[in-house]
Chains A and B, each alone.
Chain A
Amino acid sequence: MQALERILYAEDEPDIQQIASLALEVVGGFSLKICESGLVALAEIEAFKPQLLLFDVMMPDMDGPTALEKIREMEAYRDTPAVFMTAKVQPNEVQRYLDMGAVDVIAKPFDPMTLASQIQTIWERIEG
């Protein structure tokens, strides 16, 4: 199994970016590319070549689901695992994200001390 190293992370709120960066870069040791919207994620994806996409659902400019849709049109990222983060975790909503091709949904607020291991578990589940 390939180790997970590069995560493309889209989130518009600077305060959440900070704490997620602590949770994923410092605690998790992942290499993280933070994008402040889905549009920016689209622009950055080629240069960063992420192994996993971690998207907030609600963002200005372009929201997470729309960004994922666009990314799926790119040959190289058709199968890149995507995880959504959202405060709304109604079962039907989760199903909607999964139908869109997300591999999992992480509830906000997340625990900064365990977010990395949550991601790692998801990665092991889909890669292993």
Chain B
Amino acid sequence: MGGNGGKPDIQVALAALKKGFAKKIPDKVEEIHQDWVRLKSLPEDPDAFQLLHMHSHTLAGTAATYGFDEVGKLAREIEITVQDTLTEDRAAWIDAALDHVDTLLEKLHSVVQGGLEHEQPMEQRPAESFSPGTNGEAWGRLIYLVDDDLDFLTTMKMQIQAFGYDVKAFIDLDGFSEALKDQSPAVVIMDVMFGDHPNAGIEHIKQINAGREQPLNTIFVTGSQDVLTRLDAVRANGLAYFPKPVLVDHLIDELDRLTHKIEEEPFRVVIVDDSQEQSAFAALTLRQAGMETREANDPLQLLNVLAEFPPDLILMDIYMPDCSGLELSKVIRQMEAYVSIPIVFLSAEHDLKKQQGAMRIGGDDFLSKPVDPWFLVSAVTSRAQRGRMIRRLAETDGLTGLLNHTKSKERLEAELARAKREKTPLSFAMLDIDHFKHVNDTHGHPAGDRVLKSLANLFKQRLRQYDTVGRYGGEEFVVIFPNTDKATAKQIMDQLRVSFNAISHFSEGESFCCQFSCGIAAFPDVDNGTILNDEADRALYVAKEGGRNRVVVAGE
């Protein structure tokens, strides 16, 4: 075979394609549904028959190819039912097939409405040969902890459990292997060294992964810090590597990241190219990979496009009539709001020196035209992902992952402006953990940090996606509730207060509980961000004065 494709790129492209296709499935099912409705009302119409046949045939083939086996199977069954009777008396056939096709369509709809979740993604099709572990369901919060150090095992187990994980501890590799046959965990935390074997943990994972379609999500922990061991861990598909003593908070962050697979928003890409065909091609390629795009064919319009559609990445042609891509990127880089957006240049330019010039000005990458569509998707995906991560670091609080003070205030102003525009209510809550200093003094700062994180996690899990949670600093948090009146906001905060009270926190074998007090202010009572902030703060003060562990609405 000529050439070769980098495997990771292929997987990225494949996953992107699959995601793009998944989005189209509901429409395709609806199309078949409409064909069927039409056929029922016009039994003698040959076109209606043809359409139903063609659309079910197409969906059967494509869905199966993309690994949506259930959808493919159901569509295939509809196709076969239709095919069997193409030449017979249609009205009679419709009567006979009515229930069957209706049931199939109903099943199709319910698979689609189920979010296609229980459909097996094609990259996770079970291996043809039997492999241990692939049959057991991986459980969302189940962690396997493997280490021959009993002290480490018991303390880590307890600490990880405090964050709501279900931890099974194994003191030897054999016990771990046995357990894998019954159930695959969400994550394996594996010691590197066992007895006299310096790399036994890594070797063991490699061996297990070799027999699996999907490698285990593995975090390695080790007393050794040398590069070769780290490299070896990476080769065994290790997703993280923690030197001992393990910082529990970092470990929990990693576990949260690996187990909370929150669906990311699609990447937003602005394409700047004076040629409409060129930009349309790039846009099509990226959209098919599930991204959102805007095209700017007049480079001078770019700033307007950016203001309206803040992107994760800008894809820019380097030669354009009015101004060059290099000049334009200088302009973008001079604007604070866009300073961290990755810019990728696209051009027929092969001259290495010019490419370097482009990089110096602030381009992040350079792709030569004609660019292979798959390469374009994977290049854009990796840059956009990194860009998002950098932005997240700058805008969020490192401990809790919530928006930081500055960003929270910005968000409040933006949401308030929107509430005014759309004439909808908005509530703003400010809360403070009660006697937090006492927690830190009695149980130590690591325990205090865990309390803060558990509150953040609780809020993230329980609030709606469009609510904003921020950490103002210390033990003070804020929540912005768009389109929510103060009575509803109070109700929600009260529920959260009760839930938070129920969480047990652990420190050195001791358990304790925490509470918080909360103040709420709302638009349209107040129509200014600063005053909203002050009013909520004042209500919080009233809650504290009133005996803590309560929610107070400003002016009530």
List residues of chain A with CB under 8 Å of any chain B CB.
3-5, 13, 15-16, 18-19, 21-22, 25-31, 58, 87, 108-110, 112-113, 116-117, 120
- Please state if B58 and A13 are interface contacts (CB–CB under 8 Å): yes
Residues of A near B24 (CB, < 8 A) are 15
Residues of A near B60 (CB, < 8 A) are 87
- Please state if A109 and B61 are interface contacts (CB–CB under 8 Å): yes
Within 8 A of A (CB), among B321-357: none
Bound form: Cα–Cα A26–B10 in Å? 7
- Please state if A13 and B62 are interface contacts (CB–CB under 8 Å): yes
29 CB contacts below 8 A, A to B, read A3-B1, A4-B1, A13-B62, A15-B66, A16-B65, A19-B17, A19-B65, A19-B66, A22-B14, A25-B374, A26-B372, A26-B374, A27-B5, A27-B10, A29-B1, A29-B3, A30-B1, A30-B2, A31-B2, A87-B60, A87-B61, A87-B64, A87-B76, A108-B64, A109-B61, A109-B65, A112-B65, A112-B122, A116-B1
- Please state if A29 and B288 are interface contacts (CB–CB under 8 Å): no
In this complex, what residue of B is CB-closest to A31?
A: B2
Min Cβ gap A21→B in Å is 8
- Please state if A108 and B10 are interface contacts (CB–CB under 8 Å): no
Bound form: Cα–Cα A31–B3 in Å? 10
Bound form: Cα–Cα A19–B68 in Å? 14
Min Cβ gap A113→B in Å is 8
In this complex, what residue of A is CB-closest to B67?
A: A109
Q: Which of A4, A16, A109 contacts B72 (CB 8 A)?
A: A109
List residues of chain B with CB under 8 Å of any chain A CB.
1-5, 9-10, 13-14, 17, 21, 24, 57-58, 60-62, 64-66, 72, 76, 122, 288, 372-374
Min Cβ gap A29→B in Å is 3
Residues of A near B57 (CB, < 8 A) are 58
Bound form: Cα–Cα A83–B62 in Å? 19
- Please state if A108 and B65 are interface contacts (CB–CB under 8 Å): yes
Bound form: Cα–Cα A58–B373 in Å? 27
Residues of B near A5 (CB, < 8 A) are 2
Bound form: Cα–Cα A2–B329 in Å? 48
Residues of A near B2 (CB, < 8 A) are 3, 5, 29-31
- Please state if A109 and B64 are interface contacts (CB–CB under 8 Å): yes
Bound form: Cα–Cα A27–B66 in Å? 16
- Please state if A112 and B58 are interface contacts (CB–CB under 8 Å): no
Bound form: Cα–Cα A25–B76 in Å? 28
- Across chains A and B, which 7 residue pairs bring their CB atoms closest together, nearest first? A29-B3, A109-B64, A109-B65, A26-B5, A29-B2, A15-B62, A26-B374
Residues of B near A112 (CB, < 8 A) are 14, 65, 122
Min Cβ gap B124→A in Å is 12
In this complex, what residue of A is CB-closest to B64?
A: A109
Residues of B near A120 (CB, < 8 A) are 1
- A18-B17, A29-B2, A29-B5 known; 17 new pairs, CB 8 Å cut-off, are A3-B1, A3-B2, A15-B21, A16-B65, A19-B17, A26-B9, A29-B3, A31-B2, A58-B57, A87-B61, A87-B76, A108-B65, A109-B61, A109-B64, A112-B14, A112-B65, A116-B1
Residues of A near B372 (CB, < 8 A) are 25-26
In this complex, what residue of A is CB-closest to B58?
A: A13
Q: Which of B3, B13, B61, B373 contacts A16 (CB 8 A)?
A: B61
Min Cβ gap A47→B in Å is 18
Contact A22-B66, Cβ < 8 Å, known A29-B1, A87-B60, A109-B61: no
Bound form: Cα–Cα A16–B66 in Å? 9
Q: Which of B3, B4, B72, B374 contacts A22 (CB 8 A)?
A: B374
Min Cβ gap A36→B in Å is 13
Bound form: Cα–Cα A122–B62 in Å? 24
Bound form: Cα–Cα A117–B21 in Å? 24
Bound form: Cα–Cα A116–B9 in Å? 16
- Please state if B58 and A22 are interface contacts (CB–CB under 8 Å): no
A22, A29, A110, A113, most chain B CB atoms within 10 A: A22
A3, A15, A16, A21, most chain B CB atoms within 10 A: A15
Bound form: Cα–Cα A10–B117 in Å? 32
Min Cβ gap A25→B in Å is 8
Bound form: Cα–Cα A68–B66 in Å? 27
Min Cβ gap A65→B in Å is 17
- Please state if A22 and B10 are interface contacts (CB–CB under 8 Å): yes
- Please state if B5 and A108 are interface contacts (CB–CB under 8 Å): no
Bound form: Cα–Cα A87–B374 in Å? 27
Contact A108-B61, Cβ < 8 Å, known A19-B66, A22-B13, A26-B374: yes
Min Cβ gap A84→B in Å is 14
Contact A13-B1, Cβ < 8 Å, known A18-B288, A22-B10, A22-B17: no
Residues of A near B3 (CB, < 8 A) are 29
Bound form: Cα–Cα A30–B1 in Å? 7
A4, A21, A27, most chain B CB atoms within 10 A: A27
Min Cβ gap A81→B in Å is 16
Residues of B near A29 (CB, < 8 A) are 1-5
Bound form: Cα–Cα A120–B65 in Å? 20
Bound form: Cα–Cα A116–B7 in Å? 14
